[in-house]
Amino acid sequence: MTIRFDGRVAVVTGGGNGLGRDDFLELAMRGARVVVNDLGSTGAGQGKSHLAADQVVAEIRATGGEAVANYDSVATRDSGNAIVETAMMTFGRVDILINNAGFLRNSRFEDLTDEQIDAMMDVHLKAAFYVAQPAYRAMKMQKYGRILFTSSAAGVFGNPWQANYGAAKAGLVGLMNAVALEGERHGILANALLPTAHTLLAAEIDEGWMEVTSVAKVLPEVDFSAISSHLGVEQNTPLAHHLVSQNCTSTQNCYSAIAGRYSRVILGSTDGWSNGLTELASPADVEAHWAEINDRARYHVPRCVFEEFVPAIACIKAARNSQQARQWMNPN
């Protein structure tokens, strides 16, 4: 089935380079009218320039598409409102939001400064609130919307030298969950993308990973030569654009894109262990049942906090029933 965006209006933050640029060009080619937001910074968040956004707008218009540039930072509430207002004033609506803007300030965890921490929270996490909130309100009025948060494997799985970046990107998963839960009844779906590509961000990754034991252990096993020619930003676009299309009915999920391999990323809880609440478990009890607690043979993927209570209570009841059965069979 061909995916089109005719009549839709898309806002992509950080759209002048890398993932955002490819998003814009492809969305416009498929019929969307787009707001090209880009501050024009480097991969480290330095400087400002209108050039990147203007070039994307020019490319889109040259092929008959409709686009307008916006140069606001995403890091303040006023600028977030201004980005969405650009879409509303120019095109009268906003149907798609891809929160993509960002940069890196890498350092060892112990050496991170307040500036390096705050910069990541401002441009990745707080900025997503600032742009998504006004976009969400517009989508709610329309009873339709698609929001895609650009998270990262660094946030979900972890990456050395990126504690600040990873914490902000993990925060986006929590934000996505809440937006998806609240927005579903209004026709607003939200998901998160964990992309992989050679971009300005990737160019900022520091040396020193080999000092981390787990990374040094696994890197020799990774055959990068098999995918080195397939790490362009375009490999992320098919998944991203399905997720923001009308065809997509999935919401509140994380998806990974690595060199043309697309997968769902899950965060779940195992069946676990319980003593049936007959008495307060001790640390020694927990240690004795550590294998059961960590056993991934059976697990659950809750959609909200309360869904985790269902398997937890089932585990408690099963343990209690098992104890009662043993007492019945061995009354003495």
Q: Which two tokens stand for residue 77?
A: 């509430």
Cα separation, 26 vs 21, in Å, equals: 9
d(Cα 9, Cα 169) in Å, to the nearest integer? 25
Residue 309 in 3-state DSSP? helix
Are 10 and 35 in contact by the 8 Å Cβ rule? The answer is: yes
Tokens of 110: 């112990």
Instruction: Answer yes or no: are the C-beta atoms of 70 and 79 closer than 8 Å.
Output: no
Cα gap 236→293, rounded to integer Å: 35
- With H, G, I as helix, E, B as strand and everything else as coil, classify residue 181: helix
Q: Which of 49, 41, 142, 43 is nearest to 97 (CA)?
A: 142
- Of the candidates 71, 130, 165, 255, the residue annotated as catalytic is 165
Taking alpha carbons only, the member of 72, 193, 56 closest to residue 134 is: 72
Handedness of CA 25, 27, 29, 33 (dihedral sign): negative
179-184 long-range CB contacts below 8 Å, 24 or more apart? 179/132, 179/136, 179/147, 180/251, 180/252, 181/252, 181/303, 181/304, 183/136, 183/139, 183/140, 183/145, 183/147, 183/251, 184/251, 184/252
Is 165 considered catalytic here?
A: yes
Q: Which residues are catalytic?
A: 165
